[in-house]
């Protein structure tokens, strides 16, 4: 089959992912009784495409990522999640540190039946916020290696992604922390 292509780099990949997203949407409706809007399917496909680009960017020379302390009197909450596809589970970790790099706490948690990296990254942020509430911590920086997730939770408008419920929970929880900011790891 001959396909004449006159678009920009990545257009064909985006089209393929959007088609897959519509197929996934159909299967969710038929087999799981889960209704996704077409917009949610498209946005999820584009988020997947952007995630793929981030992972597969040519790096040239390898950069060293070094922990940067927060400002005096501020804590840093590093959050991360990972998927163990062969185990049908995921894990997340949270590390709360002071401005000198001293670890205040560092819990981790395994989540069964989660195989979506976006979902586990969002859950890591949410769990990190839940940990800060009973400790009375009000001034901290949340640091994540997921630029897409940080952008999603900082977006002023309502999220229309598949994980919009998690985004909403995070935004609602963030209202308790007026002196909390997001940061992404510079890799």
DSSP string of 129-177, one letter each residue = HHHHHHHT--EEEEEES-HHHHHHHH-SS---STTHHHHHHHHHHHTT-
pLDDT at 140 over 70: yes
Does 174 map to a domain?
A: yes
Contact call for residues 51 and 117 (beta carbons, < 8 A): yes
d(CA 53, CA 51): 5
- pLDDT at residue 129 in the model: 92
Do 29 and 88 lie in one domain? The reply is no
d(CA 93, CA 27): 32
Do 93 and 138 lie in one domain? The reply is yes
Question: Domain of 93?
Answer: 75-184
* pLDDT band (50, 70, 90) for residue 31: confident
* pLDDT band (50, 70, 90) for residue 5: low
Do 45 and 121 lie in one domain? The reply is no
Q: Rounded to an integer, what is the distance from CA 113 to the centroid of its chain?
A: 17
Does 43 map to a domain?
A: yes
Residue closest to 162 by CA, chosen among 50, 35, 27, 11 = 35
Does 130 map to a domain?
A: yes
CATH number at residue 94: 3.30.420.10
Lowest mean pLDDT among 15-29, 33-47, 50-64, 88-102: 50-64
Does 97 map to a domain?
A: yes
Residue bearing tokens 């976006």: 118
Do 32 and 80 lie in one domain? The reply is no
pLDDT at 64 over 70: no
Do 48 and 133 lie in one domain? The reply is no
* pLDDT band (50, 70, 90) for residue 110: very high
Does 86 map to a domain?
A: yes
DSSP state of 36: -
Do 166 and 119 lie in one domain? The reply is yes
d(CA 69, CA 2): 55
- pLDDT at residue 1 in the model: 46
pTM (global) more than 0.95: no
- pLDDT at residue 52 in the model: 74
SS3 percent helix, strand, coil of the chain, rounded to 5, is: 45, 20, 35
Contact call for residues 160 and 44 (beta carbons, < 8 A): no
Domain count, the chain: 2
Do 88 and 178 lie in one domain? The reply is yes
Do 177 and 93 lie in one domain? The reply is yes
| Structure confidence by residue, pLDDT tens digits, 153-174 | 888 888 888 888 998 999 999 8
pLDDT at 70 over 60: yes
Do 152 and 85 lie in one domain? The reply is yes
Does 70 map to a domain?
A: no
Length of the chain: 187
Do 24 and 105 lie in one domain? The reply is no
């Amino acid at each position: 089959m001959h396909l004449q292509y006159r678009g920009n780099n990545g257009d064909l990949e985006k089209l393929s992912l959007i088609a897959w997203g519509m197929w996934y949407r159909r299967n969710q409706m038929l087999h799981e009784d889960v209704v996704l809007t077409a917009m949610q399917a498209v946005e999820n496909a584009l988020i997947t495409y952007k995630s793929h680009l981030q992972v597969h960017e040519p790096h040239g020379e390898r950069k060293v990522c070094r922990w940067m302390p927060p400002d005096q009197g501020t804590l840093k909450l590093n959050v991360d999640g990972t998927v163990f596809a062969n185990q049908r589970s995921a894990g997340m970790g949270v590390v709360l540190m002071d401005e000198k790099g001293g670890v205040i706490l560092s819990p981790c948690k395994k989540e069964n039946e989660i195989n979506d990296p976006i979902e586990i990254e969002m859950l890591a942020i949410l769990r990190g916020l839940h940990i800060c509430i009973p400790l009375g911590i009000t001034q901290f920086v949340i640091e994540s290696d997921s630029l897409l997730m940080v952008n999603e939770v900082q977006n002023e408008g309502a999220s229309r992604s598949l994980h919009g419920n998690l985004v909403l929970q995070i935004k609602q929880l963030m209202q308790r922390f007026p002196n909390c900011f997001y940061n992404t790891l510079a890799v």
